[in-house]
Chain A
Amino acid sequence: MKSPMSIGLAAASCLSMLAALFMVFAYVPTEAEQGIVQRIFYFHLPCAWVAFLSFGIVAVAGALYLWLGHKIWDDLSYAAAELGMLFCTLVLVTGSIWAKPIWGVWWTWDSRLTTTFILWLLYGAYLLLRAFADDTDEVARFAAVLGIAGVLDIPIIIVSVRLWRTIHPAVLLTRQGEHGLEDPRMVATLLVSLAAFTVLFVWLLWLRLGTLRLRARLAKLRKDLALLEIAGAHR
Chain B
Amino acid sequence: MADVRLQAQRVSKFFGDRPVLHRVNLAVQAGTAALIIGRNGVGKSTLIKLCCGLVRPSTGQLLLFGCEPRLLPAAQFRRLGVLLHQTLLYPRLTARENLEFYSELLGFPDAAAQAWRWLERVGLQRVAEEPVSALSRGMEQRLGIARAMLADPDLILLDEPFAAMDADGAELVGSLIREALARDASVVLTAHAPLEIAGVELEMFNLESNGLTPFRDEGRRGGLRHLLRRP
A–B: direct contact at CB < 8 Å: yes
Q: Using a CB–CB distance below 8 Å, which chain A residues touch chain B?
A: 134-136, 219, 222-223, 226-227, 230-231, 233-234
Tell me if B90 is interfacial: C-beta within 8 Å of chain A. Answer: no
Nearest-Cβ distance from residue B51 to partner chain A, whole angstroms: 19
A226 touches B18 (CB 8 A): yes
- A233–B208 Cα gap in the complex (Å)? 11
Cβ A230 vs Cβ B19 within 8 A: yes
Q: Which residue of B lies closest to A219 (CB)?
A: B17
Contact A226–B19 (Cβ < 8 Å)? yes
What is the distance, in angstroms, from B50's C-beta to the closest C-beta of chain A?
14
Measured CB to CB, the nearest residue on chain B to A222 is B17
Of all chain A residues, the one with the shortest Cβ separation from B209 is A230
Q: Which residues of B contact A134 (CB under 8 A)?
A: 16
B96 sits at the interface (CB 8 A): no
In whole Å, how far is B9's beta carbon from the nearest beta carbon of chain A? 17
- Bound CA span A231–B210, Å: 7
B73 to chain A, nearest CB (A): 19
In Å, the complex CA distance between A113 and B17 comes to 43
Shortest distance between the CB of A142 and any CB in chain B (Å): 16
Give chain A residues whose Cβ lies under 8 Å from the Cβ of B215. Answer: none
What are 12 A-B contacts defined by CB distance under 8 Å?
Answer: A134-B16, A219-B17, A222-B17, A223-B17, A223-B19, A226-B18, A227-B19, A227-B22, A230-B19, A230-B22, A234-B208, A234-B209
| B16 & A226 in contact (Cβ 8 Å cutoff) | no
Known: A136-B16, A223-B19, A230-B209. 19 other contacts (CB 8 A): A134-B16, A135-B16, A219-B17, A222-B17, A223-B14, A226-B17, A226-B18, A226-B19, A227-B19, A227-B22, A230-B19, A230-B22, A230-B210, A231-B210, A233-B209, A233-B210, A234-B208, A234-B209, A234-B210
Q: Which 4 A-B pairs have the closest CB atoms?
A: A234-B210, A222-B17, A226-B19, A230-B210
Main secondary structure of the interface of A (DSSP, over half): helix
Bound Cα distance from A234 to B17, whole angstroms: 20
Complex Cα distance, B19 from A233, in Å, reads 14
Can you list, as one digit per residue, whether each of B1-40 has a CB less than 8 Å from chain A (1) or not (0)?
A: 0000000000000101111001000000000000000000
How near does chain A come to B20, taking the closest CB pair, in angstroms? 10
A234 CA to B206 CA in the complex, in Å?
A: 14
* Min distance, Cβ A90 to any Cβ of chain B, angstroms: 35
Bound-state Cα–Cα, A234 to B16, Å: 22
Digit string of B169-204 for contact with A (CB within 8 Å is 1, else 0)?
A: 000000000000000000000000000000000000
Residue of B nearest to A231 (CB): B210
On chain B, the number of residues with a Cβ less than 8 Å from chain A's Cβ atoms is 9
- CA–CA, A223 to B22, complex, Å? 11
Contact residues in A for B210 (Cβ distance below 8 Å): 230-231, 233-234
- Residues of the B chain whose Cβ atoms lie less than 8 Å from the Cβ of A231: 210
Min Cβ gap B46→A in Å is: 15
A222 to B209, CA, bound (A): 17
B18 contacts across to A, CB distance below 8 A: 226
B11 to chain A, nearest CB (A): 14
A226 to B14, CA, bound (A): 10
Q: In the complex, what residues of A have CB within 8 A of residue B209's CB? A: 230, 233-234
- Shortest Cβ distance from B12 into A: residue: A227
Instruction: Identify the closest chain A residue to B56 (Cβ).
Output: A137
Question: Closest CB of chain B to A218's CB: distance in Å?
Answer: 10
- How far, in angstroms, from A222 to B18 measured CA to CA in the complex? 9
Closest to B18 in A: A226
Please, which residue of chain B has its CB at the minimum distance from the CB of A221?
B17
CB of A138 to closest CB in B, whole Å: 11
Which of chain B's residues have a CB closer than 8 A to the CB of A226?
A: 17-19
**In the complex, chain A residues whose CB is within 8 Å of the CB of B19:** 223, 226-227, 230
User: A226–B19 Cα gap in the complex (Å)?
Assistant: 7
Smallest CB separation, A13 vs chain B (Å): 36
A110–B22 Cα distance when bound, in Å, is 58
Bound together, the chains give a CA A58 to CA B26 distance in angstroms of 40
Complex Cα–Cα for A219 and B210 (A): 20
**B residues less than 8 Å from A219 (CB atoms):** 17
A231 to B19, CA, bound (A): 12
